[in-house]
Chains A and B, each alone.
Chain A
């Protein structure tokens, strides 16, 4: 009888301690989560109406530079299929939208308006106006961030239909 009571006390204590331990671990985990304000700031809205053709706009999204480039009619008509597959079409205009970090080692390439291409100063990598690599060392095209189009506003961080299609087609990583 005495032993049974001891056993019961042991289980009861174990249960209380277990609930307490799991509860506090969960609270600790949650306290390390990104704050709601940080998550809300993870969406960047860009109004595209003010974009000028062939002028690069650099926006900041989740601490990373985002390249937005409105293509001229000439650029659109002269590009190939692979380039066109990466175009974000808003209100009839074609845009390049990509994370402005070289896929080699993460440097930020510069845009050359005359040559319609990007040059990375760190190791000499080059990309065309659609962000596809044209000269090594970068191993892959500039990454397209999750985006959605809302009228003439580009929402970065939200996975819209156009982005999902690109992802399915394997246009971006």
Chain B
């Protein structure tokens, strides 16, 4: 039995038992954030808040949703939308947040690429972030199955078919994933489990890793300057707050962070109340029917770029290109051979590489939505080839980059 003094306050009582003062110091009061940052540094907190919103709205949906092929569609479109008080709010919040979370993820990602925040000790932040992207993609896909509408069913059919690996025709694997020859009850229940338990658990674990990986290398800054954190922290603690190049995570940085979050939430709830339609595919308001294929099957907007990399090629080459696109971003810290961890604007050819990559991914997204015919087909093919080509030349152009 360890020795305990009688505590004179609730705070002290907690500190004796949980070391709350140490925790607060390490995680907030003496966790240093550079001053030289902009609003893009708030995207992490915006994502954390959006994830919390998804969990809360999801809990309320979970109380009325029925994971049964005969009941699922009505439990969403009738029970939740028409009977449950404010059920429509949870559904629209959940759908809009699921879509917007990807917009913020892409902004967060490209911010990291632009400022070189994936190298010199920050590799694990990038890798855990890309694993989070994969987990969020799986979460989005599994959630899309649940209303059991036409798009749920056929997207489930098409995506699980990808696992047959083209000409290898691994139909056994596809049937194993579905638990049936086609998406049916076993498929719906297991994707329900994945959506409400296993993938959220993985996401929470990965968020812990993502935050943990950030603690030692610290957050990057706008100029890529290497800071002497001990010196800057000492200045700050001495009261030289104006001269110090850092501020405390809380409450200094958090108050700025939460201001950006507040602006974001105004935009978010504007979408929820007045413009939720973009997150609700009209085709999915028809119940699932295995004997009737919708005229066009397309993914949600955030998957369009990788779908467009799959589409212009023949079946097998398309699958290989698609697999390449899915994993290649993870390898960015190792494909970028330059020692410069500075903004792309100061990195010569990499600056061009960055902007071409960004514009090309927007082009791929647009082409993925358009029907595959005529000039759009050609643009799609050129964009897909450019995407692959850019990754192949990245090690070369960064190897010859001048040290800044």
Give A contacts to B, CB under 8 Å: 29, 32-35, 38, 42, 60, 62-65, 101, 105-108, 122
The dominant DSSP class at the B interface is loop
User: Could you list 24 A-B pairs, sorted by A, with CB under 8 Å?
Assistant: A32-B177, A32-B179, A33-B179, A34-B176, A34-B178, A34-B179, A34-B180, A34-B181, A34-B186, A35-B179, A35-B186, A38-B181, A38-B184, A42-B181, A63-B182, A63-B183, A63-B290, A64-B182, A65-B291, A101-B293, A105-B293, A106-B293, A108-B291, A122-B293
**Given the complex of chains A and B, what is the CA–CA distance between A101 and B295 in angstroms?**
13
Q: List the A side residues contacting B182 at CB < 8 Å.
A: 62-64
**Given the complex of chains A and B, what is the CA–CA distance between A147 and B201 in angstroms?**
45
Within 8 A of A (CB), among B152-207: 175-184, 186, 190
Give B contacts to A, CB under 8 Å: 175-184, 186, 190, 290-293, 295
Q: How far is the CB of B171 from chain A (nearest CB, A)?
A: 11
Q: Do A64 and B290 touch across chains, with their CB atoms under 8 A apart?
A: yes
Residue among B181, B186, B292 with max Cβ neighbours from chain A (10 Å)? B181
Q: List the B side residues contacting A60 at CB < 8 Å.
A: 291
Q: How far is the CB of A35 from chain B (nearest CB, A)?
A: 7
Q: List the B side residues contacting A106 at CB < 8 Å.
A: 293
Contacts known (A42-B181, A63-B182); A32 close to B190, Cβ less than 8 A? yes
Inter-chain contact total with CB atoms closer than 8 Å: 44
Q: List the B side residues contacting A63 at CB < 8 Å.
A: 180-184, 290
**Given the complex of chains A and B, what is the CA–CA distance between A93 and B79 in angstroms?**
52
Nearest neighbor of A157 in chain B, beta-carbon distance: B181
Nearest neighbor of A33 in chain B, beta-carbon distance: B176
Q: How far is the CB of A59 from chain B (nearest CB, A)?
A: 11
Q: Closest 6 CB pairs between A and B?
A: A63-B182, A62-B181, A63-B290, A38-B180, A106-B293, A107-B293
**Given the complex of chains A and B, what is the CA–CA distance between A80 and B184 in angstroms?**
40
Q: How far is the CB of B298 from chain A (nearest CB, A)?
A: 12
**Given the complex of chains A and B, what is the CA–CA distance between A60 and B181 in angstroms?**
12
Residue among B177, B186, B292 with max Cβ neighbours from chain A (10 Å)? B186
**Given the complex of chains A and B, what is the CA–CA distance between A29 and B176 in angstroms?**
9
Residue among A29, A34, A107 with max Cβ neighbours from chain B (10 Å)? A34
Q: How far is the CB of B195 from chain A (nearest CB, A)?
A: 16
Nearest neighbor of A38 in chain B, beta-carbon distance: B180
Give me 18 other A-B pairs in contact (C-beta within 8 A), A34-B179, A38-B184, A108-B291 excluded: A32-B177, A33-B176, A34-B176, A34-B180, A38-B179, A38-B180, A42-B181, A60-B291, A62-B181, A62-B182, A63-B180, A63-B181, A63-B182, A63-B183, A65-B291, A108-B292, A108-B293, A122-B293
Q: Do B186 and A38 touch across chains, with their CB atoms under 8 A apart?
A: yes
**Given the complex of chains A and B, what is the CA–CA distance between A106 and B179 in angstroms?**
22
Q: List the B side residues contacting A122 at CB < 8 Å.
A: 293, 295
Q: Which of B176, B183, B292, B293 contacts A32 (CB 8 A)?
A: B176
Q: How far is the CB of B190 from chain A (nearest CB, A)?
A: 7
Q: List the A side residues contacting B183 at CB < 8 Å.
A: 63
Nearest neighbor of A100 in chain B, beta-carbon distance: B291
**Given the complex of chains A and B, what is the CA–CA distance between A64 and B182 in angstroms?**
8
**Given the complex of chains A and B, what is the CA–CA distance between A63 and B178 in angstroms?**
13
Q: List the A side residues contacting B190 at CB < 8 Å.
A: 32
**Given the complex of chains A and B, what is the CA–CA distance between A32 and B290 in angstroms?**
22
Q: How far is the CB of B261 from chain A (nearest CB, A)?
A: 40
Nearest neighbor of B177 in chain A, beta-carbon distance: A32
**Given the complex of chains A and B, what is the CA–CA distance between A105 and B371 in angstroms?**
14
**Given the complex of chains A and B, what is the CA–CA distance between A75 and B398 in angstroms?**
69
Q: How far is the CB of A110 from chain B (nearest CB, A)?
A: 12
Q: List the B side residues contacting A29 at CB < 8 Å.
A: 176
Q: How far is the CB of A155 from chain B (nearest CB, A)?
A: 16
Nearest neighbor of B190 in chain A, beta-carbon distance: A32
Q: List the B side residues contacting A38 at CB < 8 Å.
A: 179-181, 184, 186
**Given the complex of chains A and B, what is the CA–CA distance between A62 and B179 in angstroms?**
12
**Given the complex of chains A and B, what is the CA–CA distance between A33 and B172 in angstroms?**
10
Q: How far is the CB of A123 from chain B (nearest CB, A)?
A: 9
Q: List the A side residues contacting B291 at CB < 8 Å.
A: 60, 65, 108
Q: How far is the CB of B368 from chain A (nearest CB, A)?
A: 16
Q: List the A side residues contacting B175 at CB < 8 Å.
A: 34
